[in-house]
């Protein structure tokens, strides 16, 4: 082979696949809700690393649980029973307060969705799935097939692995599309990437009823909106809907990669030996951090904080370029009167990291659950300074 390899010493070559647009900041450490940058700035993190940093940074209990577990037993496979894995499953089901009887641990949100869909096909013996317009479910073959807009942008597989359809959001009449051929409906009760768009109790309860009529399984993708982000254990609790399955990730591990599929008794009874599998899912370090996250959510009253500060944010931050609000708890969509990207840039210049969404008007906030009113006041001040006007920041 005579191919010329790029020089590793060239600073322009970092060998990372160039698939992610990069924010103009280099983070070297973080504490609480604050990021510290290489050029010595402090940045208020209202984005939480795509909704992951629920407990904030350098959380003592989480760090202790992770390091102690790493010392005690850093890995054993699912072929070996582990008390820490069992405790994590028990804690997660109890935390949910919902009717689940089985948990399958995996590594990422997309993987949790793949397994949920597999269970839906196994149980119903049907081959079609519906999702919602503007929903996001991950980038793997099945999860990507159900992600709105993926086909034209990045799906990358020659065909979808099953029949796929999309329902318009909050459209009660369109629920009639769900029929006895529909294995499952996969839905984010509060859409994250779609702009913190809350589907609401009326729609989700009607969706539950239609699924019951047609024998269709209802899967809530709570990868982003779950684990307390809406101020309740899951958005399912907030909207009074019991889904057949919930998938969750992100905040579940607070930065340690892990995910879970929670199954109702009806789904759980269809799980047979060897039907699902994973090497790293349910690993001891994942189990330890899941326990630590639930300890913190319960012991530090973080759900109450999410509800209180989320409400304060809603009341105080519809100023400057922000003309409306959607979302729940600390999954907040600030609807802007000018492109959200402009507002995002202007906030970063003022030391605040927010998020955007697939809706160009919506600035998406996914802060740690330890956010306080004083941080919201700082955001309000920056929004007032930015103002409703033109492109200037
Ligand atoms: N589902 C939702 C609602 C998400 O927001 C995401 C990621 O952003 C995923 C699934 C995919 O999760 P992961 O990136 O962990 O595979």
Domains and CATH numbers, the chain: 21-51+301-386 (3.90.1150.10), 60-299 (3.40.640.10)
Compute how many other C-beta atoms are within 10 angstroms of the C-beta atom of residue 148.
18
Separation between Cα atoms, residue 253 and residue 348, nearest integer Å: 26
Cβ neighbourhood burial of 7 (10 Å; 0-12, 13-18, 19+): exposed
365 membership: H or E segment, kind and range: strand 362-365
Using a 6 Å cutoff on CB, does residue 188 contact ligand 1?
A: yes
Separation between Cα atoms, residue 37 and residue 43, nearest integer Å: 8
pLDDT at residue number 221: 99
**Given the CA of residue 138, which atom of ligand 1 is nearest to it?**
11
Q: Which regions of the chain are under pLDDT 70? A: 1-12, 390-393
Which residues neighbour 338 within 8 Å (Cβ) at sequence distance 6 or greater?
Answer: 321, 388, 389, 390, 391
**Contact at 8 Å (CB) between 278 and 106?**
yes
Using a 6 Å cutoff on CB, does residue 136 contact ligand 1?
A: yes
If you ran DSSP here, which 8-state letter would residue 251 be given? G
Using a 6 Å cutoff on CB, does residue 114 contact ligand 1?
A: no
Using a 6 Å cutoff on CB, does residue 194 contact ligand 1?
A: no
Which residues neighbour 198 within 8 Å (Cβ) at sequence distance 6 or greater?
Answer: 189, 190, 191, 326, 327, 328
**Contact at 8 Å (CB) between 284 and 74?**
yes
pLDDT at residue number 6: 46
Residue 261 tokens read as: 């599929």
Distance from residue 138's CA to the centre of ligand 1 (Å): 5
* Continuous H helices in 174-301: 201-214, 235-239, 265-268, 284-299
Residue 86 tokens read as: 């069992």
Nearest residue (by CA) to ligand 1, atom 13, is: 109
**Given the CA of residue 193, which atom of ligand 1 is nearest to it?**
5
Nearest residue (by CA) to ligand 1, atom 12, is: 109
Distance from residue 124's CA to the centre of ligand 1 (Å): 25
pLDDT at residue number 107: 98
**Contact at 8 Å (CB) between 198 and 224?**
no
If you ran DSSP here, which 8-state letter would residue 77 be given? -
336 backbone φψ class: left, alpha, beta (φ>0; ψ -120 to 50): beta
**Contact at 8 Å (CB) between 104 and 247?**
no
pLDDT at residue number 11: 57
Among residues 101, 61, 31, which one has the least CA distance to residue 290? Answer: 61
Residue 319 tokens read as: 């100023």
pLDDT at residue number 18: 94
pLDDT at residue number 5: 45
Using a 6 Å cutoff on CB, does residue 291 contact ligand 1?
A: no
pLDDT at residue number 12: 67
Please choose from 108, 135, 223, 246 the residue to mutate so as to test ligand 1's pocket, defined by most ligand atoms within 8 A of CB. 223
Distance from residue 258's CA to the centre of ligand 1 (Å): 12
Nearest residue (by CA) to ligand 1, atom 10, is: 137
């Amino acid at each position: 082979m005579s191919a010329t390899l790029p020089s590793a010493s060239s600073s322009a070559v970092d060998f990372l696949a160039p698939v992610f647009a990069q924010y103009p900041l280099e983070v070297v450490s973080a504490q609480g809700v604050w990021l510290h940058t290489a050029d010595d700035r402090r940045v208020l993190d209202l984005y939480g690393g795509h909704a992951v940093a629920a407990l904030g940074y350098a959380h003592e209990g989480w760090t202790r649980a992770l390091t102690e577990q790493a010392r005690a037993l850093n890995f054993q496979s699912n072929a070996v029973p582990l008390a820490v894995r069992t405790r994590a499953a028990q804690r997660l089901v109890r935390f949910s307060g919902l009717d689940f009887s089985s948990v399958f641990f995996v590594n990422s949100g997309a993987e949790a969705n793949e397994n949920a869909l597999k269970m839906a096909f196994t149980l119903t013996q049907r081959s079609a799935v519906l999702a919602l317009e503007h929903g996001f479910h991950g980038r793997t073959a099945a999860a990507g097939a159900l992600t709105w807009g993926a086909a034209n942008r990045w799906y990358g597989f020659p065909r979808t692995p099953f029949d796929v359809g999309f329902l318009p959001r909050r459209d009660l009449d369109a629920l009639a599309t769900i029929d006895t051929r529909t294995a499952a409906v996969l839905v984010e009760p509060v859409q994250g990437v779609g702009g913190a768009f809350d589907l609401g109790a009326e729609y989700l309860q009607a969706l539950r009823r239609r699924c019951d009529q047609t024998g269709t399984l209802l899967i809530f993708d709570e990868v982003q909106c779950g684990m307390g982000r809406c101020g309740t254990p899951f958005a399912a609790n907030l909207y009074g809907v019991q889904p057949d399955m919930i998938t969750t990730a992100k905040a579940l591990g607070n930065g340690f990669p892990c995910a879970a599929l929670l199954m109702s008794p009806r789904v759980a009874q269809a799980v047979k030996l060897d039907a699902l599998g994973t090497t790293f899912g349910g690993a001891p370090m994942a189990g330890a951090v899941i326990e630590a996250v639930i300890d913190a959510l319960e012991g530090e009253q973080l759900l109450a904080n999410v509800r209180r500060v989320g409400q304060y944010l809603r009341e105080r931050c519809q100023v400057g370029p922000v003309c409306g609000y959607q979302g729940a708890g600390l999954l907040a969509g600030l609807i802007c009167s000018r492109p959200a990207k402009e507002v995002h840039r202007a906030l970063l210049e003022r030391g605040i990291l927010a998020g955007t969404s697939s809706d160009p008007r919506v600035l998406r906030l996914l802060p740690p659950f330890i956010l306080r009113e004083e941080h919201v006041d700082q955001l309000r001040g920056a929004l007032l300074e930015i103002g409703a006007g033109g492109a200037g920041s």
